Amino acid sequence: MASGIFTLLDDIAAIMDDVVVMSKITTKKTAGILGDDLAVNAEKATGFVASRELPVLWAITKGSGLNKLIILPIAFVLSAFAPWAITVALIFGGVYLAFEGTEKVYEFFVPHHPKKAVVVENNVSEKEQLQAEKVKIKSAIFTDFILSVEIVIIALGTVLGQPLLFQVLVVSIVSIIATIGVYGIVALIVRMDDLGYKLVRLSKKEKSISKYLGNFLIRALPIIIKSLSIIGTIALLLVSGGIFVHNVDFLHHFLEFLPSILQEFVVGLVVGALALIVVGGLKKALSMFKK
């Protein structure tokens, strides 16, 4: 009896070791989307009154958790009864990621009409302010839903063929890391400028370490958000390219003389460019049809 219990505990420990190892590998594979998720949410969580930044971020975090509670059961059911659907969803998701990454590259290099600046009035009522917050929170949660689908599918794609319990443990761990990690870092980023202002006011001297550090944090915030956006764009193309290289036989041998990272980047860019052309053509066709 006792030996049976110890054998069971040993088996559980071995399974958990495998789960931890696979979770690390899976987290690395989803790092590209997590980088983009971080950049997007850092941008969406800024622009509020300082006292409202954390409550807004908490609302988005709760929405992100709910998104994953909806997505995970559906993904596990598909994995159990229609595993081919995971690969199909992975391919379609790869097209979306490639499109999004290439669109950002296109907008950077090709001149386009700038968006009209949104003027935020200081004398808006509390009701109007809360309404504006709700709109932005809904937008952030919707974006998180799309990115969460990709994170879950890519994570699940790395453990296909494993027992269902193993899949549930690995993908759930990655989802928890994604939610807590991303929004925890976003919380630190959005409060950087406030911490900087406090450090600047801390010392009355013209030159002091606190003022130097405070000014550094204030100036660093927009640079960090912009850098995250660039890193996220590159990561999107690499992740999408990796999906196609590893799941489409023809593309697996496409430009295979290149280093894998360059091969994946080029494939992601090519697929994204094709998707951009198709979407642009459909938009023009729809606009002509409406006329």
Q: 125, exposed or middle or buried, with CB in 10 Å at 0-12, 13-18, 19+?
A: exposed
Pairwise CA distance, residues 230 & 108, whole Å:
10
The rounded mean pLDDT for the chain is 75
**78-83 average pLDDT score:** 82
pLDDT tens profile 15-28? 444 445 455 555 55
43 contacts 226 by C-beta, under 8 angstroms: no
Pairwise CA distance, residues 77 & 79, whole Å:
5
DSSP 3-state of 121: coil
Pairwise CA distance, residues 70 & 78, whole Å:
13
Q: Among 36-50, 165-179, 214-228, 253-267, name the one with the lowest average pLDDT.
A: 36-50
pTM score, whole prediction: 0.67
Q: Where exactly are the structural domains of the chain?
A: 2-290
The closest of 255, 184, 242, 187 to 33, measured between CA atoms, is 242
Structure tokens at 181: 């990690």
Pairwise CA distance, residues 269 & 289, whole Å:
30
Exposure b/e, 30-41, CB count within 10 A at least 16 = b: bebbbbbbbbbb
**161-178 average pLDDT score:** 80
Residues listed for the chain: 291
**How large is the greatest C-alpha to C-alpha distance in the chain, in angstroms?**
79
Q: What is the pLDDT of residue 11?
A: 40
Query: Cβ atoms within 10 A of the Cβ of 273, count?
Result: 16
Q: What is the pLDDT of residue 104?
A: 85
**175-204 average pLDDT score:** 80
62 contacts 137 by C-beta, under 8 angstroms: no
Whole-number percent of the chain with pLDDT over 70: 76
Pairwise CA distance, residues 184 & 260, whole Å:
32
CA distances from 105 to 184, 220, 272, 284 (A): 28, 23, 10, 21
Q: What is the pLDDT of residue 148?
A: 81
Does the pLDDT value for residue 277 go beyond 90? yes
**136-140 average pLDDT score:** 79
